[in-house]
Chain A
């Protein structure tokens, strides 16, 4: 086979037999080089999860540490004070301020990440499949595939999606502070909370190398927001594991979900305040 033909086959949409062999050989070779202990091991089925979060409003003091940690972890750009961007600055985790319906009641603050709905409206409306439902419960977005139509922003009943109105203006010095585990997003792309998907995957990979599943204790404060919370108000874990802390808390009589009547089945539960 000529080099030209081999290369054309390599780029073909459907793998040709030659390309399949090449990919298989390459995968085997890289696995053997990188992780020799796994090269000969039989593939092991990873347990499916339903990752979810419980936020205890009775613990939360509204300090915003979750929001700062999220910005740092996920390379969220800073738009500055320009009022043009009021209400439109990218934010994945922020405090929602709710005025009470009764005049004599006090308002409430709600830390608001993406709800990672089991039936997410944002996924249904994406015309290019940029946003999708991961089998482990994450509502994910492929930044490079997004065309910026913003249908998902309209569809999300929780307003948990942000649009990049400008190219992130990192100075050369600021580029050094970016988290290499999270891709930056260019102008014209919608972005959202990933439940710190990269941290979850990293933990799962490390656990797999050790031949085990991640423990609940390792997961409870895994996302950056949960790790930063001084009041231990945010708990993360597998909602399908009845022994996990997050599953137990989600069964609390104080538990509720936002806009439950819409049938989106959010994976974020709140525990209501018990004050007064």
Chain B
């Protein structure tokens, strides 16, 4: 859908049309040459004094342009490259690392699978692989002699619950307990894959699941004890099974443990690296890597300084980036320059006003955003607008859903509409202008040269959907088709499974006596965390089954509603960190004790379609990152609801 509404991104009437510079508090046009001169001077100055004073922050978690920015940051000598993984895939990738030794998001084989078990996953709504799941759910149901079942456990009646053959309404953050209960029944009844008994940690897992009898699981999750027994046996009969968790499942304080338990359940059901179905380690496309950049003494020394965000150190030992620690760290020791690539923390992160105050303390904030988002409007000093995806030439590296490696290219379908430039090209120009050692580390004339160097690895592999005798012919066909893919799924790999030994119920911020409801902040259909909020076609979608278009409402059980509140009434939702007012939709299907509020509302910038519609739920959230992973968690806060008089 985001792709279908791409025209509204391209022709957004409120796009940034040229580079901007803040003068006297206002953003005014500046020529590209002058803007880049200004940035080069600032970067050269910072590098002379203290290279670690450069902060590079991305809202994206993958892609060649991101890697170019990381390279620039490393050659510069700054350890402070913060990518978008904490808000996306950090928890799942870390769980895979701890369980299977591969730090990546799992792929799935479904050809012979008998069921999908979704543990609070936002399968059809907010997962970036939702289109894939829509396709395979339909195919598993209708295109095979043996139809598969979709079983979903979750607290709200979302599209996954709507589509499920069986929906288990569970309390938020407790799907891990359900998985442990299923594991309990499988082990109790001696129904599990033999190889799991030889896996590391099986004794500890047995000790853990001993505590999660169906009766206890029923007490924790709110589902019926009989359902756990019944479901475990059904899954065993239907194995292999896709046990799916995603960002929505893992947005709680116990996200990492839940992901590990889900992987353990897959293992018990014989559904890991099974060619018929289940969890697979995603293969990598055989692209070349760029040669390691040579670092000079300045960079070597500066890279030894500790990261601002605390990633890699206790308590975030498993993190490569942490977002929520940054505002305090920035305020304590503000960097001299911040480069923001498709990042809008002043809107999209917990307690956005903290981000505004922190970024305002940085002398030069540079944004590459193509849109006048909150970060640009409030704090950016220099804006070097990127193309939108229909104008840009860059890689399209998908988050693999199937175990078949793919490499894609995104090419301009129109000439650029405004005076914008590809950020990848800007990064290369900056490197050339900064001189050595940057010029040596960025030997390409344009970003296209850099990207083609990577893609020629696909040509050298001489396999897959495109095999040509020469590099030129390979690239011609690659650009014509738009992608290269392996011809077959990867063969099952041998993986060493390490099973988990602990799981805890989620911890909620706020005194339950004062704040009785658990807040579930969710990405609604279409416009995710607010990134699509400037596209009216996406705004027109119903954010949740049963709600109208252009509706922004909290979903609440009628049993939890204050007296006199009915659907359409405005309520005040108060957390320990803030309060918002919005309409309520009384939903008899939502689990008691929680309130679901969509993200993506309450923009005060970002164009005419986004501005002023709804409220920003991020103002209510606690800002404690996930332990170990540093993940940005969105379901950790308790709230209370008051009627607005």
Contact = CB atoms under 8 A, between A and B. Distances in A.
Asked whether A and B interact, the reply is yes
Interface of A: 56, 58-65, 67-69, 71-72, 78, 80-81, 86-87, 89, 91, 94-95, 97, 99, 106-107, 109, 171, 173-174, 176-177, 228, 230-233, 274-276
Contacts of A177: 7-8, 10-11
B24 interface: no
A63 B131 CA distance: 8
Contact of B142 (A56, A65, A106): A56
Greatest chain B CB density within 10 A among A64, A228, A274 is at A64
A247 B139 CA distance: 21
Interface in B160-182: 162-167
Contacts of B133: 61
B83 to A, nearest CB: 28
A78 B538 CA distance: 11
Interface in B130-162: 130-131, 133-135, 137-139, 141-142, 159, 162
A67 to B, nearest CB: 7
A89 B549 contact: yes
The 10 closest A-B pairs by CB, nearest first: A231-B138, A59-B138, A78-B536, A177-B7, A171-B13, A61-B134, A177-B11, A81-B550, A68-B4, A230-B131
A58 B149 CA distance: 12
B64 interface: no
A94 B546 CA distance: 13
Contacts of A69: 4
Contact of B548 (A61, A68, A86): A86
19 contacts: A61-B134, A62-B124, A63-B124, A63-B130, A63-B159, A64-B542, A68-B526, A68-B537, A68-B541, A71-B537, A80-B609, A81-B539, A81-B613, A86-B548, A99-B546, A107-B545, A173-B11, A173-B12, A275-B165
Q: How large is the interface on B (under 10, 10 to 19, 20 to 34, 35 or more residues)?
A: 35 or more
B163 A62 contact: yes
A147 B7 CA distance: 32
Contacts of A95: 542
B540 A107 contact: no
B502 interface: no
Contacts of B462: none
B546 A107 contact: yes
Contact of A61 (B4, B13, B137, B526): B137
A63 B537 contact: no
Contacts of A107: 162, 545-546
B525 interface: yes
Contact of A64 (B1, B7, B166, B613): B1
A61 B124 contact: yes
Interface of B: 1, 4-5, 7-8, 10-13, 124, 130-131, 133-135, 137-139, 141-142, 159, 162-167, 417, 525-526, 536-542, 545-546, 548-550, 609, 613
B539 A61 contact: no
Nearest to B159: A62
B142 A59 contact: yes
Given A69-B4, A177-B11, 7 more contacts: A62-B124, A68-B4, A89-B550, A94-B549, A231-B134, A232-B135, A275-B141
A71 B540 contact: yes
A69 B5 CA distance: 8
Contact of A231 (B8, B13, B137, B546): B137
A72 B5 contact: yes
Contacts of B609: 78, 80
Contact of A67 (B138, B167, B417, B540): B540
Nearest to B135: A230
Nearest to B547: A97
A63 B13 contact: no
Contact of B538 (A61, A68, A81): A68
A61 B139 CA distance: 12
Nearest to B5: A68
Contacts of A232: 135, 138-139
Contacts of B537: 68, 71-72, 78
A243 to B, nearest CB: 20
Nearest to B161: A106
A124 to B, nearest CB: 30
Given A95-B542, A97-B542, A171-B13, A228 B4 contact: yes
Contact of B541 (A67, A87, A173, A228): A67
A276 B8 CA distance: 39
Nearest to A64: B541
Greatest chain A CB density within 10 A among B4, B133, B164 is at B4
A86 B141 CA distance: 36
Contact of A68 (B1, B12, B142, B546): B1
Greatest chain A CB density within 10 A among B13, B134, B137, B164 is at B134
B216 to A, nearest CB: 27
